[in-house]
């Protein structure tokens, strides 16, 4: 992806998307609108270093994303981590994207605030803002306390959301957006229990899951993680 007049402001949302649901999709869509982005990309991980091996293949997860974005055509899919294979380190992907986009493009990396308590477990997490702004979307629920070192790092970088667009990277800010009280692990547990309908994911994604029996035989550990 090279910088041009039509993609000067880019958003990236990473995750396993196992499966993708409306919580992911509506937050990404809100971010594109609120941040006036030229492109908002969903970037599925090949394998998160902090999770067990995915029980659903990358091919199935990307197929579900392809179906999901038919309802959200303002979103795009970035498959760079699937092509790279192995553990997915966000900092490597952001560094690669920065090389492609050039030094002047503004890049936003979007996460949910449930991830802040474990941010210091990510590979080279302090370098994330060397390549992008970190934007944390509010999410319903109660989460673990944020470690002191993450709080200090955040404080040094915190920037009003409206000011991020004037810089290519380096800032950290929060984004208020659509709240969907759902998680992929909750959906996996629901599907493991035999549910065959849910309003938490797009209809074509649900049909794909049923067709391929994707979550029928999960262990309890796989359903939760």
pLDDT of 111 > 60? The answer is: yes
**Range scoring the smallest mean pLDDT among 39-43, 47-51, 126-130:** 47-51
pLDDT at residue number 93: 95
**1 three-class SS:** coil
pLDDT of 220 > 50? The answer is: no
**Range scoring the smallest mean pLDDT among 11-25, 133-147, 161-175, 209-223:** 209-223
pLDDT of 99 > 80? The answer is: yes
Q: 158 near 194, Cβ under 8 Å? A: no
Q: Render 122-139 in DSSP notation, one character per residue.
A: STTGGGHHHHSEEEEE--
Name the more confident of 56 and 86.
Answer: 56
> In sequence order, which residues have a C-beta less than 8 Å from that of residue 186 and are 6 or more positions away?
200
DSSP state of 87: S
**221 three-class SS:** helix
pLDDT of 202 > 70? The answer is: yes
Q: Which long-range contacts (CB under 8 A, 24 or more apart) does 176-181 make?
A: 176/138, 177/26, 177/27, 177/30, 177/31, 177/34, 177/137, 177/138, 178/26, 178/27, 178/29, 178/30, 179/138, 179/139, 179/140, 180/21, 180/22, 180/23, 180/26, 180/27, 180/140, 181/23, 181/140, 181/141
pLDDT at residue number 221: 42
User: Is beta strand 39-44 parallel, antiparallel or unpaired with respect to 133-137?
Assistant: unpaired
Q: Which two tokens stand for residue 209?
A: 């899951």
pLDDT-based confidence at 144, cuts 50/70/90?
confident
Closest CA to 182 of 139, 148, 224, 143: 139
Phi-psi region of 137 (alpha: psi -120 to 50; beta: other; left: phi over 0): beta
Preceding peptide of 19 cis, ω within 30°: yes
pLDDT at residue number 196: 66
Domains of the chain: 9-181 (3.40.50.620)
The whole-model pTM stands at: 0.89
Whole-number Å distance between alpha carbons of 9 and 168: 9
> In sequence order, which residues have a C-beta less than 8 Å from that of residue 192 and are 6 or more positions away?
215, 216, 218, 220, 223
pLDDT at residue number 223: 42
pLDDT of 35 > 90? The answer is: yes
């Amino acid at each position: 992806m090279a910088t041009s007049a039509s993609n000067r402001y880019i958003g990236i949302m990473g995750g396993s998307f196992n499966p993708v649901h409306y919580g992911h999709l509506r937050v990404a869509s809100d971010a594109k609108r609120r941040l006036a982005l030229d492109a908002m990309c969903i970037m599925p991980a090949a394998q998160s270093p902090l999770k067990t091996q995915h029980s659903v293949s990358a091919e199935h997860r990307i197929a579900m994303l392809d179906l999901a974005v038919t309802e959200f055509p303002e979103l795009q899919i970035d498959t760079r981590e699937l092509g790279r294979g192995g553990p997915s380190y966000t900092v490597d992907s952001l560094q690669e994207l920065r090389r492609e986009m050039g030094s002047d493009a503004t890049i936003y990396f979007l996460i949910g605030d449930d991830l802040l308590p474990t941010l210091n477990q990510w590979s080279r997490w302090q370098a994330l803002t060397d390549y992008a702004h970190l934007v944390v979307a509010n999410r319903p629920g109660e989460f673990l306390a944020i470690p002191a070192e993450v709080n200090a790092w955040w404080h040094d970088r915190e920037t009003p959301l409206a000011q991020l667009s004037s810089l290519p990277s380096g800032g950290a800010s929060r984004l208020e957006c659509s709240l969907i009280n759902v998680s992929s692990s909750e959906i996996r547990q629901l599907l493991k229990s035999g549910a065959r309908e849910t309003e938490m994911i797009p209809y074509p994604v649900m049909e794909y899951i049923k067709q391929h029996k994707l979550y029928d035989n999960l262990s309890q550990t796989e359903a939760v993680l």
